[in-house]
């Protein structure tokens, strides 16, 4: 049995950053004039990207258990969500010089991330995401070290509601525009990590880089339109692991 606690840092890059920068500029413009529907849509797209890959630090705790030889079950909670999975050891270091395992995991996340802290004129009302992950890992271990690497494959279905808040301008009162977004996303990338320790306690660091690609439908003022949100996201993390 193994238990762990740690934290991961989510850092959206590329297209994510560009979209958020555009939305921040439009948020400043909204204090001077009323945004057009196209501009509001762009701001809400940025809000959706923040919901899918929220920047910041996420803490987690979890554990794994081996009920049968070569079979591992795991449960992990982090930031308003959970992940449960199982994986099977296909190769062992004792016989093949490397450990290789593959499995499947399901997850659910539901939270209200403070999007308004990043884009001041958008609020996230309700975000729910269901995920399917296919973990494949190769690595080696010794008495004082562990290392591992492998592809990161994850597929999600998500839904959320967001509110665009138009500030009051002169004699024009403040107004709200509510949008709902539903869609799917995929995360394809790679991850790797190392751990060092003594006896039963190890300190681990891990680095993950994925390309997030999503396709969604946004309903805004009774009109539906397709939007695409995506980009590169990196997740450096650190954890303490105890083997019982």
pLDDT tens digits for range 132-169: 999 999 999 999 999 999 999 999 999 988 888 888 88
Give the single-character DSSP code of 42: H
Q: How far is CA 236 from CA 13, 31, 42, 202, 230, in A?
A: 13, 36, 29, 17, 19
Query: How far is the first Cα of the chain from the last one, in angstroms, to the nearest whole number?
Result: 5
Whether residue 222 has pLDDT greater than 80: no
CATH code assigned to 2-243: 2.40.160
Alpha-carbon 86 to chain mean position: 20
Instruction: Place 22 in a pLDDT band, splitting at 50, 70 and 90.
Output: confident
- Please list, residue by residue across 54-85, b when 16 or more beta carbons sit within 10 angstroms of its beta carbon and e when fewer do: bbeebebebbbeeeeeeebebebebbebebeb
Least reliable range by pLDDT among 54-68, 74-88, 117-131: 117-131
Look up the pTM and report it. 0.84
Rounded Cα distance between 19 and 149, Å, is 31
Q: What is the pLDDT of residues 163-193, one digit of tens each?
A: 888 888 888 888 888 888 899 999 999 999 9
The pLDDT-based confidence of 113 (bands split at 50, 70, 90) is low
- What confidence score (pLDDT) does residue 131 get? 96
Per-residue pLDDT at 86 exceeds 90: yes
Q: Which residues of 166-184 are buried (b: 16+ CB within 10 A; e: fewer)?
A: beeeeeeeeeebebebebe
Q: What is the largest CA-CA distance in the chain?
A: 77
d(CA 80, CA 88): 27
Let me know: does 106 contact 132? Beta carbons within 8 Å: yes
CB-side exposure of 17: number of CA atoms within 13 Å? 8
* Collapsed DSSP state (helix, strand, coil) of residue 181: strand
DSSP state of 172: B
The per-residue pLDDT for 112 is 66
Give dist(CA 101, CA 66) in Å, integer. Answer: 13
């Amino acid at each position: 049995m193994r238990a762990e606690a740690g934290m991961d840092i989510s850092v959206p890059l590329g297209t994510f950053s560009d979209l958020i920068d555009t939305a921040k500029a439009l948020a400043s413009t909204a204090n001077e004039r009323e945004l057009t529907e196209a501009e509001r849509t762009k701001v809400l797209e940025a809000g959706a990207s923040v919901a899918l890959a929220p920047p910041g630090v996420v803490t987690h705790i979890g554990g794994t258990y081996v009920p049968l030889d070569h079979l591992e079950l795991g449960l992990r909670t982090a930031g308003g969500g959970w992940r449960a999975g199982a994986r099977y050891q296909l190769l062992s270091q004792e016989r093949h010089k490397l450990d290789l395992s593959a499995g499947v995991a399901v997850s659910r996340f539901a939270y209200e991330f403070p999007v308004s802290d990043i884009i001041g004129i958008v609020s996230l009302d309700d975000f729910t995401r269901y995920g399917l992950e296919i973990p494949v890992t190769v690595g080696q271990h010794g008495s004082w070290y562990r290392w591992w690497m492998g592809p990161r494959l994850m597929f999600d279905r998500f839904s959320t509601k967001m509110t665009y808040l138009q500030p009051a301008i002169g004699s024009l009162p403040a107004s709200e525009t509510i949008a709902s977004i539903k869609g799917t996303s995929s995360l394809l990338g790679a991850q790797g990590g190392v751990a060092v320790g003594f006896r039963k306690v190890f300190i681990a660091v891990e680095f993950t880089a994925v390309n997030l690609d999503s396709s969604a439908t946004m309903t805004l003022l009774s009109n539906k339109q397709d939007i695409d949100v995506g980009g590169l996201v990196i997740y450096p993390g650190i954890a303490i692991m105890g083997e019982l």
